Structure 1
Amino acid sequence: MSMDLKIELAKEEYVNAINEISNKYGLPLTIIEVLLNGILNEVANMKAINIAEEKAKIKESENNAKD
């Protein structure tokens, strides 16, 4: 399965889940927007942590290769 198709299918699942949750709790779009912005910030933070950890591992392996 191509990455493009995976991304599109994942996006559809996210939208479906958001719609399901919105209907379940009867939340107005303004609140949904606030919640999604909070989730987006959390995802951005997790990505930054993952990148920092990966860079540290690369630097460590480079330092070990020098020794």
Structure 2
Amino acid sequence: MPGPIEWRFATPSVQVWSEPDRAGQSSVLLEETELDAAATRAAEAGIGHDGPQPGGGARILPLTDPDGNRVVLTGA
């Protein structure tokens, strides 16, 4: 169907829809096995952040994409 981009893993899958009217109003949570390394890679790529921090019983790395959507990595 037109509109979505989909990634399929063993489980679950992720769909991203193109909805320009809703840009900046979405969030996604992704598990990351090496959170500190992900923080380093994000900084090297020019993605600003405050580093990993406690959140919801785990460590999280909150990021924001250029449209204002929130991407949160969680892991050890």
TM-score by length of 1: 0.28
- Structure in which a larger fraction of residues adopt helix: 1
Flag the structure with higher strand content: 2
- How does the TM-score come out when normalised to structure 2? 0.26
